[in-house]
């Protein structure tokens, strides 16, 4: 009743505006009225849409093929940046905003003016973007055991993403990695589903706090300082045989529900806006074609009301080889319940293919309407119709000092102390800041790209110090020690050099080279060359602390005896100062292993709770140190 009484008053307002702007006949568009209830707006808009406009909403294209004209001509509903896809190298926030706004202007100039939604992989901060704060990868955040910290990281990431005009992130990855041979294992918070569930606190960080009394499953984004989130990859991505990327997860219903599904329960309770489907299969059925799990379970049983998005060319990969039968892929993917398809390049092929199938009643219109309804629900809820264009008011959030301090705190909390001297030599850490001369060695000591890992500036990550701004571990050590302490850096010194150097102690930083997705699959899990010989040369000659930079446990058992102290630092990101903060005792070690540290790769898969559990360091292990009191 109240709403009915209010509508005419609003109509008068619109009418006046229209007449002043020269429009002859006032048309009240219910869907454009933010005072109308959500479902009224959705139904009103849907009722006005042509098939072409509906299918456009379901199409997500890559920025490299997007333009004002393409957005307008094809009614494209969404654009993405793939890993490393940027408007220009080292683009500023303003350059990003101009690009996004140009595409958006194309969408807004269509008949119905439905805004597009731009999405990006911001999986450890806004990682494609030059000078963004790069937070530790999820495995390190799992070691903190601190969901409140992870929530703050989500809020900071949302601000940095909004700083570039983007309202949607393909994060969090809530994979439960059960085998570290999987190259995406660092994107997983833990092998333990309970930790992954707890870390879904990043969702209210990204999207804003869900209002009290919200209905379960309804997507939510608080406003212009938040972004729509995406829990991925539904479901079982971390459970594939031998950790082979995109492969087959073999487990019964009980195993799927108990290990891989819990993160989705909590994501949905927390109002996640979107869910991305996994490339992988469950018991031989591709998830992108699994109607029972996508529609039957996620949408119907769990009552998820946001939209389901495919992975990059995800429907293509339903067939083997990929794209062998694209019309089948479209049919299988859309019928399974995928609402938005990350095409991402050949969008006319997708649009024409889907249009044909709807016109020929292979795919019912009810399926299209369900998809569009969900996409519109997210867009309306997040205020995209009211605020479609990015402004420059948040550009200073990108890489801000406050966010770098938060990342540094996260680095400190993520470090796991595995060994700290032995017998009379214990404890070795914290290290004294004051010493005549110390040695820093190892391939990862002075390499910002290595310490950030994959999904940093480029998809597979980079090597070197010029990729973005940050603090290497070597610089951090130099910043931290007493001004009188001489720091000698040699990447891979021989034993004689170390012996004759008269060093008080050495810090060796070694680990894995950056990788992402398939490229990171490994069956040997070794430290990259010449890491182990650096360990041997240095630790054989002087008391040493070895800091391991890796996305997962790696083979260290043969060297444990020679290393006096061992720190697992995961992939800490740009704020290497956090490592020195703890090594030198300004803060204590508190991190706990989020994964089982195996002895040998032939033990894999090896997870907490397994029978005959015989790890090198068990899940949850982590020595602690107290901060040093200084005056
Ligand atoms: C988009 O359109 C708005 C409003 O017409 C205009 O102010 C802005 O300059 C346009 N942005 C771009 C990047 O074209
Ligand atoms: C899993 O990997 C094997 C070996 O590479 C391959 O033959 C098989 O097709 C893959 N299975 C799936 C479901 O991707
Ligand atoms: C492709 O899939 C369709 C079903 O959508 C099927 O009718 C057709 O035979 C398939 N084509 C090939 C070449 O396998
Ligand atoms: C897009 O797909 C269509 C239909 O399969 C094909 O004819 C065309 O060559 C493709 N375009 C590109 C750029 O791959
Ligand atoms: C960074 O250094 C690499 C290797 O030296 C070089 O190829 C690249 O052009 C540099 N990038 C920038 C942005 O300076
Ligand atoms: C370990 O495997 C990686 C690829 O997975 C390969 O590049 C590397 O050479 C292997 N290392 C050893 C020591 O076999």
pLDDT in tens, 304-359: 999 999 999 999 999 999 999 999 999 999 999 999 999 999 999 999 999 999 99
Q: List pLDDT tens digits, range 515-548.
A: 999 999 999 999 999 999 999 999 999 999 999 9
Tell me the ligand closest to 448's alpha carbon.
5
The total number of structural domains in the chain stands at 2
SS3 509: strand
Tell me the ligand closest to 313's alpha carbon.
4
Domain extent, residue 256, equals 41-129+164-396
Residue 36 covered by a domain: no
Whether 452 and 326 share a structural domain: no
Whether 371 and 436 share a structural domain: no
- Is the separation of the CB atoms in 405 and 87 below 8 Å? no
Pocket of ligand 5 (CB under 6 A): 464, 466
Of 340, 373, 396, the domain-final residue: 396
Residue 5 covered by a domain: no
Whether 325 and 458 share a structural domain: no
**For a pLDDT cut of 90, what percent of the chain falls above it?**
95
Mean pLDDT of 162-187: 98
The residue whose CA has the least distance to atom 12 of ligand 5 is: 466
Q: List pLDDT tens digits, range 473-517.
A: 999 999 999 999 999 999 999 999 999 999 999 999 999 999 999
Whether 344 and 418 share a structural domain: no
CA distance 267 to 287: 19
Pocket of ligand 1 (CB under 6 A): 98, 101-102, 105
- Is the separation of the CB atoms in 438 and 485 below 8 Å? yes
Which atom of ligand 3 is nearest the CA belonging to 332? 5
Cα(237) to ligand 5 centroid in Å equals 34
CATH of the domain at 313: 3.20.20.300
How far is CA 342 from each of CA 231, 346, 530, 549, rounded to the nearest angstrom? Answer: 15, 10, 40, 33
Residue 156 covered by a domain: no
Whether 385 and 427 share a structural domain: no
Residue 614 covered by a domain: no
Cα(120) to ligand 3 centroid in Å equals 33
Cα 110-76-36 angle, rounded to 5 deg: 60
Closest C-alpha among 367, 460, 354 to residue 84: 460
- Is the separation of the CB atoms in 134 and 140 below 8 Å? no
Residue 612 covered by a domain: no
CATH of the domain at 566: 3.40.50.1700
Which atom of ligand 1 is nearest the CA belonging to 97? 13
CA 91 to chain CA centroid, nearest Å = 21
Residue 171 covered by a domain: yes
Which are the catalytic amino acids? 311, 517
Whether 109 and 189 share a structural domain: yes
- Sheet containing strand 486-489, edge to edge, reads 416-420, 565-568, 544-549, 505-511, 437-441, 486-489
- Is the separation of the CB atoms in 241 and 248 below 8 Å? yes
Whether 434 and 339 share a structural domain: no
Whether 468 and 489 share a structural domain: yes
**Mean pLDDT over the full length of the chain:** 96
User: Based on C-alpha coordinates, what's the Rg of the chain?
Assistant: 26
Q: Is 522 in the pocket of ligand 6 (CB under 6 A)?
A: yes
Residue 619 covered by a domain: no
Whether 95 and 112 share a structural domain: yes
The predicted model scores a pTM of 0.95
SS3 423: helix
Residue 567 covered by a domain: yes
Whether 392 and 407 share a structural domain: no
Q: What would the DSSP string read from start to end of 307-335?
A: EEEPPTTTTGGGSSSTTSSHHHHHHHHHH
Whether 323 and 442 share a structural domain: no
Cα(291) to ligand 3 centroid in Å equals 19
């Amino acid at each position: 009743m109240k709403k009915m009484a209010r509508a005419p008053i609003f109509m008068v307002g619109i009418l006046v505006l229209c007449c002043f702007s020269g429009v002859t006949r006032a048309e009240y568009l219910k869907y454009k009225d933010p005072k109308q209830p959500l479902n009224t707006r959705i139904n009103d808009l849907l009722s006005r849409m042509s098939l072409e406009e509906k299918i456009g909403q379901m199409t997500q294209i890559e920025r490299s093929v997007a333009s004002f004209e393409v957005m307008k001509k094809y009614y494209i509903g969404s654009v993405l940046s793939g890993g490393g896809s940027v408007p220009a190298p080292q683009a500023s926030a303003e350059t990003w905003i101009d690009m996004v706004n140009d595409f958006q202007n194309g969408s807004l100039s269509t008949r119905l003016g439905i805004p597009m939604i731009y999405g990006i992989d911001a999986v450890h901060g806004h990682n494609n973007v030059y000078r963004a704060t790069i937070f530790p990868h999820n495995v390190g955040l799992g070691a903190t055991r601190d969901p409140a910290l992870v929530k703050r990281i989500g809020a900071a990431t949302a601000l940095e993403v909004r700083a570039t005009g983007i309202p949607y992130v393909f994060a969090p990855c809530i994979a439960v990695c059960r085998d570290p041979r999987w190259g995406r294992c660092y994107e997983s918070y833990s092998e333990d589903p309970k930790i992954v569930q707890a870390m879904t606190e990043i969702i209210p960080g990204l999207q804003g706090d869900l209002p009290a009394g919200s209905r379960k499953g309804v997507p939510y984004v608080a406003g212009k300082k938040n972004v729509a989130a995406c829990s991925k990859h539904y479901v079982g991505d971390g459970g594939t045989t031998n950790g082979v990327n995109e492969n087959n997860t073999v487990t019964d219903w009980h195993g799927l529900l108990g290990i891989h599904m819990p993160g989705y329960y909590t994501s949905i309770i927390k109002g996640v806006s979107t869910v991305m489907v996994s490339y992988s299969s469950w018991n031989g059925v591709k998830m992108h074609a699994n109607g029972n799990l996508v529609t039957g379970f996620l949408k119907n049983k769990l009552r998820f009301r946001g939209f389901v998005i495919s992975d990059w060319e995800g429907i293509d990969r339903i067939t083997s080889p990929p794209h062998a039968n694209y019309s089948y892929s479209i049919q299988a993917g859309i019928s399974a319940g995928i609402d938005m398809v990350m095409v991402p390049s050949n969008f006319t092929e997708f649009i024409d293919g889907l249009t044909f199938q709807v016109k020929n009643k292979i795919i019912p219109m009810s399926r299209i309407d369900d998809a569009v309804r969900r996409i519109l629900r997210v867009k309306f809820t997040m205020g995209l119709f009211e605020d479609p264009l990015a402004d420059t008011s948040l550009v200073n959030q990108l890489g801000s000092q406050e966010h770098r301090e938060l990342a540094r705190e996260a680095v400190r909390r993520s470090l796991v102390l595995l060994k700290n001297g032995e017998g009379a030599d214990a404890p070795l850490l914290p290290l004294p800041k004051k010493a005549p001369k110390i040695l820093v060695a190892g391939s990862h000591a002075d390499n910002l790209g290595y310490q950030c890992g994959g999904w940093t500036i480029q998809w597979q990550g980079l090597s070197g110090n010029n990729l973005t701004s940050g603090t290497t571990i070597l610089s951090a050590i130099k910043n931290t020690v007493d001004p009188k302490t001489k720091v000698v850096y040699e990447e891979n010194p021989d034993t004689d050099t170390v012996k004759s150097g008269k060093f008080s102690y050495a810090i060796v930083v070694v680990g894995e080279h950056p990788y992402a997705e398939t490229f990171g699959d490994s069956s040997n899990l070794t430290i990259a060359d010449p890491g182990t010989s650096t360990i041997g040369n240095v630790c054989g000659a002087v008391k040493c602390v070895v800091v391991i930079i890796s996305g997962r446990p790696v083979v260290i058992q043969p060297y444990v005896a020679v290393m006096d102290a061992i720190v697992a630092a995961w992939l800490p990101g740009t704020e290497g100062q956090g490592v020195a903060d703890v090594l030198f005792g300004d803060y204590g070690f508190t991190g706990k292993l989020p994964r089982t540290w195996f002895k040998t790769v032939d033990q894999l898969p090896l997870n907490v709770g397994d029978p005959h559990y015989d790890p090198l360091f068990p899940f949850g292990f982590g020595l602690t140190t107290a901060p040093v009191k200084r005056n």
